[in-house]
Structure 1
């Protein structure tokens, strides 16, 4: 095929061999590709060189001329005559070395991927001491036959900017004078020369919504952070610190127009509204449903396409940085949900990126997820592993997030996850563990804690896989924390029972303590528990209106007393009656009613009690911080236990009465002679409780009880949890 035809039909994979300054039999010459131009004028950076007008003999878009004898590496500009006015540009094909720069460093460390690939704004010094600014593009498409850069700057014409294929499978090009905000995609032909849907940049830092789904050039160096105090202070021991997480779906927390709900709050509006609310409520962290760009609102972000781009639904990347920055300045940590397990097959995304399975397993028995109808990353492929680990580091590095909650870990660990016999491929040992995914998760955690030791990773893992939150050197997966899905399932199963039958299910509410210290647990009541017909938290509760609210209050108190960090999805604190709907705001109007305002006040009080009471958090992951008083009182459906601070100078006695029967003169054992002070009663009238009379202060008597020498008598209100604090510092 003639050279001009290769460029015209977008089949040239080595444009640097044919364009720019090249060697020929007649000596060094200049060749320019400018489709649809009738002539071009070459203008040199060195003004001493005369402009050169070049005409094409056969109007095929290629323009050739010998170089001036005085030529000494000068940068040149091409002014093309296309019949509609001159269009001047600095020719990209004179920057071979600069375009190749990325691939020299890209695989030496995971973070280099997002520092080198994608669209990088750079400056180049010319031989004459001037600076040329532009964008270096680098995209991995190893089995493509040709790749071109397209965008507004070339009218989305795939002929104009063919990219150079390197030996590593990356395609590169430096385009001078492109600036931040320009839209772009990649025009890719598969191995057989067939056009693929235009692809967004897998490393794109900014993306547009439907219908373009285009990537946008973005400068990570422009935002000026103001959270240095937070970044320094977050280095404390997270296991011995309070952590109460408010899980948020940004699109439905609140809408600016309650009547029409026509748009979302922006990142900046959320910074003004959400952060103040979270701080006032006493939460220590927000956890955001996935922030990575995603095409379908109904996936809530769990089908991400732009892994390196904060979703533009709420603003640009600087706006998201502003949100994180403001959280930190307010003393609120930011955790984001991160989805390395799977991705959708939208045409502009990663699926069959160059016509082959670049990112996903090729065999559908490993590469297709039946639950979510999505592709599964090939965790054994080096380039995919680097892509995912780099992405984890990227959010911690460029956006200062404090933690990654890793979604659907169980689906990664097991080859037979949600598959029937014959639908999965055993590992080399004949088992169902995905060794490649296990290896990836270990590497990811090692890299995160090596580079960001004061950050954290949290696994959503629902099986009994061992040592999920133990260090890799100890045979673990390396996560900092793990969601306690067993506690969540058992306790919700218990609390949904009518109190008359709870005595038959007493083990559901106590069993979690059998394994409570096997992992570093977070107790989650997440978005997954209030959708898809599961009902809201309020409507999981049995009984009439008062009993439903009382059950919810009692359960919340039990949760905050139980060992483990805390997580509640937005709306739980409002006692929202309906299930969560991602298309509409939370029902904030419910706070006009005493019941809902009271339950919100309870969550606020629980958070402030928890974060101000070391006994409730310092030994969340240490058996020394917990002891049962009585776990076998099934007849009365009462559980009682004591939490102890690290210095043993503070103890909190927690008692939950899971029946609507008040219990006077209820005796509990205490560890020593002391005075107990009521710190919180979920039945208090301020929380829309019955305000049943309780004991505010009580002194231990030398009456053995619960295998202890001392005991006290208290009153247990109906369907309530009470907290009594013993200060032993004197």
Structure 2
């Protein structure tokens, strides 16, 4: 009796059988049940159970023998060893019909529960279930140290029309490195691939995925999660400290390594709390092979980078922030992915995640590939990833990188280098629908979160809800304000009078979106200079200008964002491979800028007038917007039932005494003066208060004579 077709045995031995589970394991056949086992480096193999049967060697690595129904294990022997093990091909499927249906439909909201590598107990045995989407592959195997990276050993089961392959590998556990070996659509063996849904990865330059268990961290942030919705909206103070974890601080006593997630949970969070920021925003911590991409070219979209520790340790960092009342926002990159061979590029031998046409699928600016948002499985992969970070790691928001590059098919392309949409236009209709779906699902699935768009064009309705025709983001970076204000402050003050509108123009569109005012990492790299070095004048004037800029930013409508190191006026540009220059805080002027940022955060949070109307037109009005000759600006911030705040900025190196309009009479306290000696200034001011007289001025019923120090911003509030 033939125990196995010899053609099938040869295909199994050569690793090119399209359906190994149809042959391997136990099957009923003519003459009774039989076992077929694939053990490439064995000379002899036995089946062990109620009895012991030696299997016949059919060809190299393939063994077969009769076996009546019943559980069994295998024993293998070669010239150097004998070993017992569970046969992965005796186990049934793990994925259920609902998983198959949702994956095929592209609507599996918790895709990471189905795909990836999961430590489970299956049919009474502990091991790891692997599942991956590769619809055009002829064969997929999981490989790792547990099988000597031999793709013949664990050839996977294809789950029908979904294109998903799965296998349960008994006996292995968390910490195992693995990849997928794929025989492509044309029968070509591809470069081994990392898991698109891997929850961990090896340290670069190694590129394997690593089996990691989710849910190991015991969360203690219930109080924060309950009140989060009330602390993350357009009327609350949101002041964000943007951080690159690898270069915020380093441990020079240990070879200059970056801090671990555990170390960051104390050192970084202590610092942020002391500085008064409400949130931290992390440059992408999704796993990425190249340090110099700063995380913006991720390959492990479901894995916190191992550079700082394991997934449960990243969860501990988020938990520590929440316990101290600090929100955590992640820079999220669904706009493109790198071309590394072990990544998503031509994952199953076809343009699976990307477009086949480089006019649609290749980013010329970054030499990266563009996701095919119109493919339901790709869209599902990304949508589920957004929910993954919000649900599994309790993140409070996602800042979506490079949204403009997603919205337009002709982004950074010349005529003839792009493909119009079905209506002949330049908008990427599929990406637009993807972003709407992402925002709708994120806000619908994770109570109290925020999403933020880095969008540099005038695309309408970015922060308008989806059901009102918008993209559905909670906030948008105000790139126009950033560019105009930085350009103004970089000018020699003698010329600022000719460019007065660079600080007033933003008020014409301030409330067209829910804006965040960003001074991000992008502004202090690639030759742009640090914030302090953007400022004109001698050293004292540079510091005065910078203090005035920060006060203007915190007073202007819009939530706040500042990249690390700029809060103490670091001289050099940011470098991702080096720590910040913390030693500068020994110098009074640098420490003064840090004290100013701390006090600005304190005022911003304590004074409703400074935050309630960040996104409400009734929260802001100009008092003096047209005094270009003196380069003086005066405006008012308001909130219902709260004291107003009047801000006066003198942006020339000339001291001025002048009358300004005020909304009410009585004494007004000087609540902040950037020229204070406390901040490193010359300590000129109004001796702590001014008195408003009933003299109409600048459309206000009251006014007062005020002293405005050179290159300074002064804030007043009624006593």
1:39 corresponding residue in structure 2: 44
1:582 corresponding residue in structure 2: 576
**SS of residue paired to 2:94:** helix
1:537 pairs with one of 500, 524, 531: 531
Question: More deviation in 596-605 or 479-488?
Answer: 596-605
1:124 corresponding residue in structure 2: 122
Structural mapping, 1:189-338, within 5 Å: 189-236=183-230, 238-257=233-252, 262-338=256-332
Q: Deviations over 1:418-473 (max 9, x none)?
A: 00111001111111100000000000000000101311100000000001001001
Q: Following the alignment from structure 1 to structure 2, what is the Cα–Cα distance between the partners of residues 451 and 118? A: 22
Q: Deviations over 1:245-295 (max 9, x none)?
A: 00001111111107x863111111111211101110111110000010000
Contact 2:13 2:62 in 1 (8 A): no
Q: Following the alignment from structure 1 to structure 2, what is the Cα–Cα distance between the partners of residues 262 and 52? A: 58
**SS of residue paired to 1:342:** coil
Q: Following the alignment from structure 1 to structure 2, what is the Cα–Cα distance between the partners of residues 552 and 75? A: 74
**SS of residue paired to 1:391:** helix
**SS of residue paired to 1:680:** strand
Q: Following the alignment from structure 2 to structure 1, what is the Cα–Cα distance between the partners of residues 399 and 635? A: 30
2:652 corresponding residue in structure 1: 659
**How far off is 1:2 after superposition?**
1.6
2:554 pairs with one of 537, 555, 560: 560
1:23 corresponding residue in structure 2: 28
Q: Following the alignment from structure 2 to structure 1, what is the Cα–Cα distance between the partners of residues 215 and 443? A: 24
2:91 corresponding residue in structure 1: 95
Q: Does 1:638 align with 2:632?
A: yes
2:3 corresponding residue in structure 1: none
Q: Following the alignment from structure 1 to structure 2, what is the Cα–Cα distance between the partners of residues 158 and 30? A: 21
Contact 2:544 2:712 in 1 (8 A): yes
Q: Following the alignment from structure 2 to structure 1, what is the Cα–Cα distance between the partners of residues 104 and 175? A: 27
Q: Does 1:353 align with 2:347?
A: yes
1:75 pairs with one of 58, 71, 87: 71
Q: Following the alignment from structure 2 to structure 1, what is the Cα–Cα distance between the partners of residues 300 and 216? A: 21
1:678 corresponding residue in structure 2: 670
Q: Following the alignment from structure 2 to structure 1, what is the Cα–Cα distance between the partners of residues 288 and 41? A: 37
Structural mapping, 1:124-523, within 5 Å: 124-125=122-123, 131-166=124-159, 167-236=161-230, 238-257=233-252, 262-523=256-517
Contact 2:103 2:162 in 1 (8 A): no
Runs of 4+ in 1 over 3 A off after TM superposition: 99-102, 104-110
Distance 1:356 1:156, change over 3 A: same
Q: TM-score w.r.t. structure 2 length?
A: 0.97
**SS of residue paired to 1:235:** helix
Structure 1 alignment gaps of length 5 or more: 126-130
Q: Deviations over 1:80-129 (max 9, x none)?
A: 1133222222111122332566535545643331111011222224xxxx
Q: Following the alignment from structure 1 to structure 2, what is the Cα–Cα distance between the partners of residues 477 and 110? A: 22
Question: More deviation in 292-301 or 158-167?
Answer: 158-167
**How far off is 1:695 after superposition?**
4.1
**How far off is 1:165 after superposition?**
1.7
Q: Following the alignment from structure 1 to structure 2, what is the Cα–Cα distance between the partners of residues 331 and 616? A: 20
Contact 1:597 1:687 in 2 (8 A): yes
Q: Following the alignment from structure 1 to structure 2, what is the Cα–Cα distance between the partners of residues 546 and 472? A: 49
Structural mapping, 1:108-123, within 5 Å: 109-123=107-121
1:604 pairs with one of 598, 613, 628: 598
Structure 2 alignment gaps of length 5 or more: 1-5
Structural mapping, 1:668-707, within 5 Å: 668-707=660-699
**SS of residue paired to 2:714:** strand
2:701 corresponding residue in structure 1: 709
**How far off is 1:699 after superposition?**
2.6
Q: Following the alignment from structure 1 to structure 2, what is the Cα–Cα distance between the partners of residues 107 and 695? A: 71
**How far off is 1:53 after superposition?**
2.2
**SS of residue paired to 1:418:** coil
Q: Deviations over 1:36-86 (max 9, x none)?
A: 212212223xxxx21222231x44222222223xx3xx4321111133222
Q: Deviations over 1:638-675 (max 9, x none)?
A: 1111111132x3100011111111112x2111112233
Q: Following the alignment from structure 1 to structure 2, what is the Cα–Cα distance between the partners of residues 694 and 90? A: 82
Distance 1:699 1:278, change over 3 A: same
Question: More deviation in 167-176 or 520-529?
Answer: 167-176
**SS of residue paired to 1:22:** strand
1:128 corresponding residue in structure 2: none
Q: Following the alignment from structure 2 to structure 1, what is the Cα–Cα distance between the partners of residues 252 and 564? A: 19
Contact 1:105 1:112 in 2 (8 A): no
Q: Following the alignment from structure 1 to structure 2, what is the Cα–Cα distance between the partners of residues 59 and 366? A: 48
Q: Deviations over 1:351-402 (max 9, x none)?
A: 1111111101110001000100000111111011000000000000111111
Contact 1:627 1:643 in 2 (8 A): yes
1:66 corresponding residue in structure 2: 66
Q: Deviations over 1:534-572 (max 9, x none)?
A: 000001000001000000000100000001100000011
Question: More deviation in 3-12 or 524-533?
Answer: 3-12
Q: Deviations over 1:150-198 (max 9, x none)?
A: 0111111111000112221111111122211111100111112111111
**SS of residue paired to 2:162:** coil
